[in-house]
Structure 1
Amino acid sequence: MSHIFAALTESMRVLRFCRNGRVPIISRLPDEILLTIFKHFEEEKRLNGYDSHDDEYASDVTGGVPACLVVTHVCRHWRKVALECPTLWTFISSTSLLWLDVMLERSQKAPLVVTYNPFSISLDNCLEKVLLHLPRIKYLELRAHSYNVGRVMNLLSSQPAPMLETFKFSVECNLLPTVSISNTIFQGQAPLLRHLDVDYCNPRWSSCIFGGLRALCVRKTSLPDILSTLRCTPVLEQFMLQLQLPESDQSTLIDRVPLTRLKNIVLDGTSLQNAVSLFEQLALPVDVKIALQLSSIEGPPTFADFFSVMNKHPDGSGPVFRSLRAIKFKPWRFSVQFSTSMEINSDYSWNPQDDDIRLSIQFYYEDDEVRPNGPSAENIIFDICNIIAQRKRRTFFSGEFESINVEGCPDFIEGLTAALRIEG
Structure 2
Amino acid sequence: MNTNLDGESLETAMHNVISSWLVHNDPIPEAWKQTISPIDAMSSNEFLALDTSECRQLVSRSQSSLRRLQCLSDTFRVLSYFYAAKLSAAESNLYAVSNMWSLASLPSELLVRIFEFVVFGDRTLKNRWRAAVPLSHVCRYFRRTALSCPLLWSDVSGNAGMVSLSLSRSEDVPLDVTVAFDTVGSLLDKFLPEASTHSKRWRTLTLQVYCKDSEGVNHRDVEGTLSMFNICQIFGAVDAPSLESLSVINLSDFTLLEEKGSFSQWNTPNLRYLNTTLIPLSLRGLSNLTHLDFTVMMDQFHYNKFFKSVSQLKSIEDLALKLKISRAADHTSTQVFEKTTELCVRRLRVEVAIGSQSTTSFLRSLFSPLTFPNAVSLEVRFTGAVASIYTRYYDYGEEVEIEDGPMLLAAEETNCILHHDGQFPLVERFSLDVTGDVDIDRNPESWYDLQRGKIYLDVPINKLPNLKHLQMCCNGNLSPSFPGWVYGGPVADWTSAIRLPALETINIVIYCPGTAYGFAALIKEILHRQREQRKWETFRELSVTTVDRSAVPGRRTVSATYGGVAAQAWCARRLLITQGYYPSFASGTYVD
Quickly name the TM-score band, shorter chain normalised: 0.5 to 0.7
> What does 1:22-41 correspond to in 2, within 5 Å?
25=102, 28-41=105-118
In structure 2, the residue matched to 1:356 is 469
> Which residue, 190, 202, 205 being the options, matches 2:268?
190
Structure 1 411/398 Cα, relative in aligned 2: closer, same or farther at 3 Å?
closer
- Counterpart check, 1:79 vs 2:190: no
In the alignment, structure 1 segments of 5+ residues that lack a partner are: 1-19, 54-58, 341-353, 365-375, 420-424
**SS state of the match for residue 67, structure 1?**
helix
Counterpart position of 1:14? none
Q: Is the 8 A contact 1:181 1:205 kept in 2?
A: no
**1:237 equivalent among 296, 313, 318:** 318
User: What residue number does 1:266 align with?
Assistant: 350
- Of 298, 308, 311 in structure 1, the residue corresponding to residue 422 of structure 2 is 311
Q: How many equivalent residue pairs?
A: 348
Change (3 A) 1:92 1:286: closer
* Aligned residue identity for 2:188: L
Aligned residue in 1 for 2:288: 212
Tell me if the contact between 1:319 and 1:397 (Cα under 8 Å) persists in the aligned partners.
no
Q: CA 1:193 to 1:332, structure 2 compared with 1: closer, same or farther past 3 Å? A: farther
2:290 corresponds to 1:179? no
Change in Cα spacing, 1:308 to 1:66, as seen in structure 2 (3 Å) is closer
Deviation of 1:93 after TM superposition, in Å, equals: 2.4
Q: Which amino acid aligns with 1:278?
A: L
TM-score (norm 2): 0.47
Equivalent residue for 2:172, pick from 109, 123, 126: 109
TM-score relative to the length of structure 1: 0.62
Paired residue secondary structure (1:193): coil
Mapped partners of 1:213, 1:232: distance in 2:
11
Aligned to 2:566: none
**Offset at 1:111?**
0.8
Aligned-partner Cα distance in 2 for 1:275–1:215: 22
Give 3-state SS (helix, strand or coil) of 2:238's partner.
Answer: coil
Partner of 1:160: 239
1:371 — aligned with what? none
Higher strand share: 2
Match of 2:153 among 52, 73, 89: 89
Shift of 1:90: 0.6
The partner residue of 2:207 within 142, 153, 169 is 142
Q: Who is 2:279 aligned against?
A: 203
Greater radius of gyration (CA): 2
User: Structure 1 residues 206, 101: CA separation in 2 closer, same or farther (over 3 Å shift)?
Assistant: closer
Which structure has more RCO (C-alpha within 8 Å, separation ≥ 6)?
1
Please report the RMSD computed on the Cα atoms of aligned residues, expressed in angstroms.
5.1
Equivalence for 1:3: none
How far is the alpha carbon of 1:408 from its aligned partner? 1.6
Counterpart contact for 1:303–1:384, Cα < 8 Å: no
Q: 2:514 aligns with which of 402, 408, 414?
A: 408
Q: Is the 8 A contact 1:320 1:399 kept in 2?
A: no
Letter in 2 for 1:260: C
Find the residue that maps to 2:136 and give its secondary structure. Answer: helix
Cα distance, 1:318–1:113 mapped onto 2, change above 3 Å: closer
The 3-state SS of whatever aligns with 1:203 is coil
How far residue 129 of structure 1 moved from its aligned partner, in angstroms, is 3.4
Determine if contact 1:320/1:397 at 8 Å carries over to the other structure: no
